[in-house]
Amino acid sequence: DGGITQSPKYLFRKEGQNVTLSCEQNLNHDAMYWYRQDPGQGLRLIYYSQIVNDFQKGDIAEGYSVSREKKESFPLTVTSAQKNPTAFYLCASSIDEGYYGYTFGSGTRLTVV
Amino acid sequence: QKEVEQNSGPLSVPEGAIASLNCTYSDRGSQSFFWYRQYSGKSPELIMFIYSNGDKEDGRFTAQLNKASQYVSLLIRDSQPSDSATYLCSYSSASKIIFGSGTRLSIRP
């Protein structure tokens, strides 16, 4: 079945550590996105990529980095520069840059310990 | 001004009644609009997509779009306990989707 796989489902980070969240899709979608969701709030865009080897910053890119070396994969690294990383992270993909909507992965819940 | 305005709720509706969720947006250039349903602790799920003025019906769900008023709504008929969730209003803009903060809907037996 086609879909988006995010891993891990839960992740714990110590202060000062970098962590990488995985996002893989087998939908043959060109565009991929990372959003962050805090309790009781909407989704805020971190980074997005419309094509391999190219990506753009979203509204809250500071403290995060991404790569897009393969069409299927769009990993997100939460660096130690991100001071408040505890949140629910959602990866999404789209065949048409969002015109018909996104398909979301199941999310990764990151907690700082 | 927020790009997408929604009442955060909670909106409490009796089982079997019609739930009405409303949303306004700021970008007049938006072409397509979405309603996502999000259960607690889960990722959003697309339930309705609309791009032209008027109504679009899919089962118990009806989306309504008025571009002149920059207004989108979602009606849920015959509300069921399984409809209890947060509903995110959103629209596409410049190759990405902008989301509202969501309306929490609670269906009471």
At B64-76, the pLDDT tens digits run 999 999 999 999 9
C-beta separation of A98 from B97 below 8 A: yes
- If interface means Cβ-Cβ distance under 8 Å, which residues of chain B face chain A? 4, 8, 31-32, 34, 42-46, 49, 88, 92, 95-97, 99-102
Shortest distance, CA B96 to any CA of chain A (angstroms) = 5
> Residue B2 has what pLDDT?
67
User: In this structure, what DSSP letter does residue B101 have?
Assistant: -
Nearest chain B alpha carbon to A59: B98
Instruction: Residue B7: name the closest of B107, B91, B102, B108 by CA.
Output: B102
Q: Return per-residue pLDDT of chain A as tens, 113 residues.
A: 679 999 999 999 888 899 999 999 999 999 999 999 998 788 999 999 999 999 999 999 999 999 999 999 999 999 998 889 999 999 999 988 778 889 999 999 999 88
Structure tokens at B17: 């009644």
E-strand stretches of B30-84: 33-38, 45-50, 54-58, 61-66, 71-76
